[in-house]
Structure formats: structure tokens, C-alpha cells
């Protein structure tokens, strides 16, 4: 299947794509957020969390590897693997167990995680485009493609 792309002319458009993702993601899903520093990965995560009803501050998990957001029926784990180096630390911290049928996992810099990281249901690739960005969407599972179809409706 072709990978659809969406223009994101400004920050509001990135937040809005996050909010649209919030409506279609289900517990058990993993989303990879791929793109350079400043591409808008954390902004998209912020829009998604706000879309889920989270009213607090969304911090970049760059230094903590993960921020945890408990919702009533699932946890959302927001990873940033930019500084990830030690697979042993990953296992000891129990991060593998964060990827389970009751959680939603968002992962910035998934390419830094290598083979330890579960494959995604959905990948959002953010690229610079003129003053704004463009998002390219790729499904990694049937569920992921369903989300893309629903977002594009």
C-alpha cells in the first residue's frame, strides 16, 4: 500500500494530527514517531495526549527515556530513545513489559532502540517542508492501517 502523506503547515496542524490519532488508537498499539530534531514528534505527542483528555504539561522524555500517563482504562507510555544506549538498562527497567495489550506506546527516535524495540502498528514520519512539515503515515499491522484509513476519512 502507498504511504499517505499529510501537509502540516504549522504547529496547530501537528497538534491536530495528534488529536486525530487520539480518536483512532486503541490499547495495545505502538506508534513510532520518526524525524529529525525539531521535526515535531513531541508536538504531535502533545496533541495526542490533549486529545485523550490529558490537561497537564507534556514533557519531552529525552532525559528520562519515558514519561507515563495513566488514563482510566490504559496507560500511555511516551518514549524518547534519543539518548538510549544500554539494552541491559532497558530490560532491567522493565520497559519491555510496557508494550502490552493494555497500553499505548509512542516512541520518538525508535531507530536508536535497535532490535530491543517491538515493531510498530503505525509509523508517523515527520519531515521539514517549506515553513512547515509533512507527515508520512505507514501501517505496520492491520490495526495500524485501519487507523490510517480512519484518519484520512
Distance between CA 81 and CA 132 in Å, rounded?
Answer: 24
Distance between CA 127 and CA 109 in Å, rounded?
Answer: 14
Residues 73-132 that bind ligand ADP (CB under 6 A): 108, 132
Tell me if residue 70 falls in helix, strand or coil.
strand
Cell (9 digits) for 148? 490510517
User: Considering beta carbons, is residue 13 or 148 the nearer one to ligand ADP?
Assistant: 13
Residues 97-116 that bind Mg ion (CB under 5 A): 108
User: Considering beta carbons, is residue 10 or 111 the nearer one to ligand ADP?
Assistant: 10
Which one of 11-19, 51-59, 99-107, 138-146 is the stretch in contact with ligand ADP (CB under 6 A)?
11-19
Contact in structure between 24 and 147 (CB atoms under 8 Å): yes
Residue with cell 541491559: 88
Residue 36 vs residues 66, 96, 105, 109, 117: alpha-carbon distances, Å: 19, 25, 20, 9, 19
Contact in structure between 38 and 133 (CB atoms under 8 Å): no
Residues 30-49 that bind ligand ADP (CB under 6 A): 35, 37-43
Residues 54-83 that bind Mg ion (CB under 5 A): 60
With CB under 5 A as the contact rule, the residue among 8, 14, 20, 42 that binds Mg ion is 42
* Residues of this chain that bind Mg ion (CB under 5 A): 41-42, 60, 108
* Residues of this chain that bind ligand ADP (CB under 6 A): 8, 10-11, 13-14, 35, 37-43, 108, 132-133
Amino acid at each position: 500500500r502507498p504511504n499517505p502523506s499529510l501537509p502540516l503547515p504549522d504547529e496547530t496542524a501537528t497538534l491536530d494530527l495528534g488529536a486525530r490519532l487520539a480518536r483512532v488508537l486503541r490499547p495495545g498499539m505502538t506508534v513510532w514517531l520518526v524525524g529529525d530534531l525539531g521535526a515535531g514528534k513531541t508536538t504531535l505527542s502533545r496533541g495526542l495526549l490533549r486529545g485523550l483528555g490529558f490537561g497537564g504539561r507534556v514533557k519531552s522524555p529525552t532525559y528520562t527515556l519515558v514519561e507515563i500517563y495513566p488514563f482510566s482504562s490504559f496507560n500511555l507510555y511516551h518514549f524518547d530513545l534519543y539518548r538510549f544506549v544500554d539494552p541491559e538498562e532497558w530490560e532491567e527497567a522493565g520497559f519491555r513489559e510496557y508494550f502490552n495489550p493494555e497500553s499505548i506506546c509512542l516512541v520518538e527516535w525508535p531507530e536508536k532502540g535497535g532490535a530491543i524495540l517491538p515493531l510498530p502498528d503505525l509509523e508517523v514520519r515527520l519531515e521539514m517542508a517549506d515553513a512547515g512539515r509533512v507527515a508520512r503515515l505507514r501501517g505496520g499491522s492491520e490495526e495500524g492501517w485501519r487507523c490510517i484509513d480512519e484518519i484520512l476519512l
